[in-house]
């Protein structure tokens, strides 16, 4: 394939890969919501850099800075626009596809294989989904792909120190994104210096050539030098601020401890340390000490958990639905069909990769990318084994899977000529994957889902009831029952079904939203407040849920609305109700464009105030501008004449960030009576 043809086809692959990224960005990247914990800490780090030219050091732990630096860079250029920052990140994620294509080309020597590898990664739904989430996965995967590519290029150039230096520089950047990359550095340097002969002897692979000792020493030193050059300023800065040697962050020790708790209640120690131990490094030291003590007290439990977490890391996302774990309403969190599609992609890719690994010729192998996956699995096994942590480890999958898909005849020929041990190893690898993926819970879950599908297609309540009987402890059959009863007009029966679903999955936001909707129609304020409190407990009383409810719930089913009332189905483009310390009454802060379905015709009393003087505000009613005004920091009362029930009131105003203590972009505070 000619270079020009390859370039044009690769550009086409990138354009195609942008489609699922735009689709998922529209689903969950446009709401402007920053979720607690990881996302909030990366975001606050960016706001501290933007406003104070300093990093965020007052959270529960110190995060690596590069994700926050990236966000701060976007905010500095385009303003604090969270949806735009997520779109920029989604576009940047396409660079990972280019790097994976180059890695596949380097391994196979085939541009066809390279294109297929890029296509597989571009259409892989988890990569597309996390590309528009405020997490470190996208940048870290990009940087680790570059690290592995540079290392593989250096290996094929007899460990050229210049290439190893570049690899070390990029590796350092990856470590400033996620600390998991740090611990692999000494292992890699040791492998270069002393482990090459051992690897060749064990694997019978010319991974490290029989180079002179001096060459290997210079290569390892260059890798180390590049890494140190990037990370040293961060280490010096941390010592100056915290008075302790912090190499990357302080979340690693805490994650190690959280993955080795003796009892669930032990987790509460984290809140105690946050309140009583001001130094982040001291908190990490306490967590490490506690984790080691837990392991020493029960090493058998540690070994068992390590095995379970290693398996959990590579299991399907569908198991979350079987285990009553989904919380959100976005496609990647709340859609069972999306999870099934993602798992199907994941299973096929991993099976193809196993075939590719076992049938690849020696010059097509990359031990670096394989060892990266093994290393990451072991590290997750001793700390936390969340499934999203496997995304950066899956770099090996696309190149090896592309070997099989891009040249099936060659693979078939190799299979026919393969030695018995290679065929046996391939079979063992496939069996191992199937054992990792299999769980007994899938049997009743699949049985239940079969009957729910029948009931959905035929609108047959008996089929739904058979789905409930197949797995009565799962929340999804009761959701299906509630949906069908609601369509039939039995609101009380539907509310009872959703309540049964909530008893099995108390954190699910879509179930709670339907509880609120039906309880409002049935004048059941107790259920409304119970469901709203459950949403607030998991931080899902937010604009992401408001956007979902705006499209999914019936419009104009509420007789009246005041600012403290649940906003489900009534409002979007606003923050949850809150109390201002200077004002006894609850208020809401609008985002740049807030929309409200006004339940009743007649006069509407609207109270507004801005967080800055001379803030321009436009009010629109049913798509027509009705008033333009300039607000200050004092409350201003307006009365609008609403011509009809369920009129659409829209408020447009510029957003700004008040301070690092109030870091979220907002425009004006408002109340309706």
pLDDT tens-digit series, residues 422-476:
999 999 999 999 999 999 999 999 999 999 999 999 999 999 999 999 999 999 9
Using CA atoms in the order 239, 242, 243, 244, what is the torsion angle rounded to 10 degrees? -70
Q: Can you list the alpha helix ranges (DSSP code H) found in 505-623?
A: 509-521, 525-537, 543-552
DSSP symbols for 26-95: HHHTSS----TTHHHHHHHHHHHHHHHSS---SSSSPPPSHHHHHHHHHHHHH-S-HHHHHHHHHHHTHH
Q: What interhelical angle do 476-487 and 491-504 show, nearest 10?
A: 170
Instruction: Dump pLDDT digits (tens) for 27-70.
Output: 999 999 999 989 999 999 999 999 999 999 888 889 999 999 99
Nearest by Cα to 49 from 28, 19, 71, 33: 71
Q: At 574, is the pLDDT very low, low, confident or very high (cuts 50, 70, 90)?
A: very high
Reduce the DSSP state of residue 298 to 3 states and report it: coil
Least confident of 105-109, 197-201, 597-601, 650-654: 197-201
Nearest by Cα to 22 from 73, 74, 88: 88
Residue that has been written with the tokens 């990792």 in this structure: 436
Residue that has been written with the tokens 């920052």 in this structure: 85
Per-residue model confidence (pLDDT) at position 199: 53
Using CA atoms in the order 448, 453, 458, 464, what is the torsion angle rounded to 10 degrees? 30
Contact (CB, 8 A) for 546 and 553 = no
Instruction: Dump pLDDT digits (tens) for 141-160.
Output: 999 999 999 999 998 898 89
First to last CA, the chain: 69
Pull the structure tokens for residue 326: 């989904």
Burial class (CB in 10 A: 0-12, 13-18, 19+), 605: exposed
Q: How far apart are CA 651 and CA 609, in angstroms?
A: 12
Q: How far apart are CA 634 and CA 73, in angstroms?
A: 33
Burial 177-213 (b: 16+ CB within 10 A, else e): bbbbbbbbbeebbebbeebbeebeeeeeeebbeeeee
| Per-residue pLDDT at 385 exceeds 80 | no
Q: At 492, is the pLDDT very low, low, confident or very high (cuts 50, 70, 90)?
A: very high
% of the chain residues with pLDDT over 70: 98
Question: How many other CB atoms are there within 10 angstroms of residue 127's CB atom?
Answer: 25
Instruction: Dump pLDDT digits (tens) for 608-629.
Output: 999 989 999 999 999 999 999 9
Question: Mean pLDDT across the stretch 571-596?
Answer: 90
Reduce the DSSP state of residue 248 to 3 states and report it: coil
Per-residue model confidence (pLDDT) at position 527: 96
Burial 317-354 (b: 16+ CB within 10 A, else e): bbbbbbebebbbbbbbbbbbebbeebbebbeebbbbbb
Q: How far apart are CA 129 and CA 427, in angstroms?
A: 32
Nearest by Cα to 483 from 503, 461, 504: 461
Pull the structure tokens for residue 201: 């002897």
DSSP symbols for 583-616: -SSEEEEEEEEEEEEE-SSEEEEEEEEESSSSEE
What are the φ and ψ backbone dihedral angles of 363, each rounded to 5 degrees? -75, -10
Per-residue model confidence (pLDDT) at position 648: 94
Per-residue model confidence (pLDDT) at position 582: 74
Q: Which residues pair with 619 in a beta bridge?
A: 627, 651
Q: At 210, is the pLDDT very low, low, confident or very high (cuts 50, 70, 90)?
A: low
Query: What does the DSSP 8-state code read for residue 488?
Result: T
Per-residue model confidence (pLDDT) at position 149: 96
Residue that has been written with the tokens 């906003």 in this structure: 567
Per-residue model confidence (pLDDT) at position 200: 54
Element (H, E) at 626: strand 624-631
Angle, alpha carbons 72-76-82 (nearest 5°):
65
Instruction: Dump pLDDT digits (tens) for 212-225.
Output: 888 889 999 999 99
Q: How far apart are CA 162 and CA 358, in angstroms?
A: 32
* Average pLDDT of the chain, as a whole number: 92
Per-residue model confidence (pLDDT) at position 647: 93
Nearest by Cα to 668 from 560, 592, 577: 592
Q: How far apart are CA 548 and CA 572, in angstroms?
A: 9
Contact (CB, 8 A) for 131 and 20 = no
Q: Can you list the alpha helix ranges (DSSP code H) found in 472-524?
A: 476-487, 491-504, 509-521
Q: Tell me the CA distances in angstroms from 515 to 26, 209, 333, 483, 534, one per residue in order.
A: 26, 65, 19, 11, 11
Contact (CB, 8 A) for 663 and 657 = yes
Contact (CB, 8 A) for 639 and 586 = no
Per-residue model confidence (pLDDT) at position 207: 47
Q: How far apart are CA 574 and CA 571, in angstroms?
A: 7
Per-residue model confidence (pLDDT) at position 610: 93
Pull the structure tokens for residue 381: 């096994």
Instruction: Dump pLDDT digits (tens) for 277-294.
Output: 989 899 999 999 999 999
| Per-residue pLDDT at 23 exceeds 60 | yes
Contact (CB, 8 A) for 446 and 453 = no
Q: At 203, is the pLDDT very low, low, confident or very high (cuts 50, 70, 90)?
A: very low
Q: How far apart are CA 93 and CA 122, in angstroms?
A: 9
- Any residues with CB less than 8 A from the CB of 290 and at least 6 apart, and which? 257, 266, 269
Reduce the DSSP state of residue 532 to 3 states and report it: helix
Q: How far apart are CA 576 and CA 585, in angstroms?
A: 14
Least confident of 227-231, 315-319, 641-645: 641-645
When computed from its CA atoms, the radius of gyration of the chain, rounded to whole angstroms, is 28
Q: How far apart are CA 611 and CA 11, in angstroms?
A: 45
Pull the structure tokens for residue 667: 């425009």
Question: Mean pLDDT across the stretch 548-569?
Answer: 89
Pull the structure tokens for residue 350: 């991993």
| Per-residue pLDDT at 195 exceeds 80 | no
Q: How far apart are CA 591 and CA 483, in angstroms?
A: 32
């Amino acid at each position: 394939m000619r270079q020009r043809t390859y370039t044009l086809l690769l550009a086409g692959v990138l354009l195609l890969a942008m489609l699922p990224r735009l689709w998922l960005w529209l689903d969950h990247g446009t709401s402007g919501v920053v979720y607690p914990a990881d996302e909030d800490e990366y975001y606050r780090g960016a706001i501290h850099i933007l406003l104070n030219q300093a990093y965020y050091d007052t959270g529960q732990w110190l995060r690596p800075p590069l994700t926050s630096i990236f966000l701060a860079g976007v905010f500095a250029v385009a303003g604090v626009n969270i949806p735009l920052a997520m779109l920029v990140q989604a576009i940047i994620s396409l660079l990972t596809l280019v790097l994976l294509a180059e890695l596949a080309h380097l391994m196979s020597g085939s541009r066809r294989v390279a294109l297929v590898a890029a296509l597989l990664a571009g259409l892989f739904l988890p990569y597309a989904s996390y590309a528009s989430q405020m997490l470190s996965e996208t940048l870290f995967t990009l940087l680790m792909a570059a690290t592995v590519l540079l290392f593989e290029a250096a290996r094929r150039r007899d460990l050229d120190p210049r290439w190893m230096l570049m690899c070390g520089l990029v590796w350092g950047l990856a470590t400033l994104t996620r600390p998991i990359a740090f611990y692999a550095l000494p292992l890699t340097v040791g492998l270069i210096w002393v482990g090459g002969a051992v690897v060749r002897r064990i694997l019978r692979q010319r991974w490290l050539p029989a180079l002179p000792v001096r060459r290997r020493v210079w290569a390892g030193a260059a890798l180390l030098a590049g890494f140190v050059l990037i990370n040293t300023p961060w280490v010096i800065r941390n010592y100056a601020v915290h008075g302790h040697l912090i190499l990357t962050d302080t979340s690693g020790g805490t994650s190690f401890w959280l993955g080795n708790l003796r009892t669930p209640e032990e987790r509460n120690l984290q809140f105690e340390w946050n309140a009583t131990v001001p130094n982040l490094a001291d908190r990490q030291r306490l967590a490490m000490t506690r984790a080691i003590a837990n392991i020493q007290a029960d090493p058998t439990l540690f070994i068992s958990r390590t095995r379970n977490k290693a398996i959990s890391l590579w299991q399907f996302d569908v198991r979350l639905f079987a285990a009553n774990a989904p919380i959100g309403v976005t496609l990647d969190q709340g859609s069972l069909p999306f999870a099934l599609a993602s798992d199907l992609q994941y299973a096929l890719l991993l099976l193809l990769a196993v075939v590719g690994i076992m049938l690849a010729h020696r010059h097509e192998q990359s031990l670096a990318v394989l060892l990266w996956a093994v290393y990451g699995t072991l590290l997750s096994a001793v700390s936390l084994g969340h499934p999203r942590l496997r995304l950066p480890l899956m770099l090996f999958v696309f190149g090896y899977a592309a070997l099989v898909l891009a040249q099936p005849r060659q693979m078939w020929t190799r299979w026919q000529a393969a030695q018995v041990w290679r065929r046996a190893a391939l079979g063992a690898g496939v069996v191992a994957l199937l054992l990792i993926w299999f769980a007994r819970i899938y049997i009743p879950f699949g049985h239940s889902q079969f009957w729910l599908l029948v009931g959905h297609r035929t609108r047959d309540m008996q089929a739904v009831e058979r789905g409930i009987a197949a797995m009565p402890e799962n929340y999804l059959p009761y959701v299906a029952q509630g949906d069908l009863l609601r369509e039939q007009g039995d609101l009380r029966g539907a509310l009872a079904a959703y309540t049964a679903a909530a008893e099995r999955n108390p954190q699910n936001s879509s179930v709670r939203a339907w509880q609120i909707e039906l309880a409002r129609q049935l004048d059941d304020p107790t259920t409304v407040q119970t469901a709203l409190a459950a949403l607030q407990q998991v931080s899902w009383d937010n604009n992401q849920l408001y956007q979902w409810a705006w499209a999914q719930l019936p419009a104009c089913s509420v007789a009246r609305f005041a600012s403290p009332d649940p906003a489900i189905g009534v409002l979007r483009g606003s923050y949850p109700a809150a109390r201002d310390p200077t004002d006894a009454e609850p208020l809401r802060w609008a985002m740049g464009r807030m929309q409200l379905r006004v339940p009743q015709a007649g006069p509407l009393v609207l109270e507004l105030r801005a967080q800055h003087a001379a803030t321009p505000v436009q009010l629109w009613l049913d798509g027509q501008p009705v008033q333009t005004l300039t607000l200050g920091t004092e409350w201003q009362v307006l009365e609008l004449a609403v011509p009809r029930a369920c009129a659409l009131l829209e408020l447009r105003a510029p957003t700004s960030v008040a301070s690092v203590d109030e870091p979220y972009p907002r425009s004006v505070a408002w109340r309706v009576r």
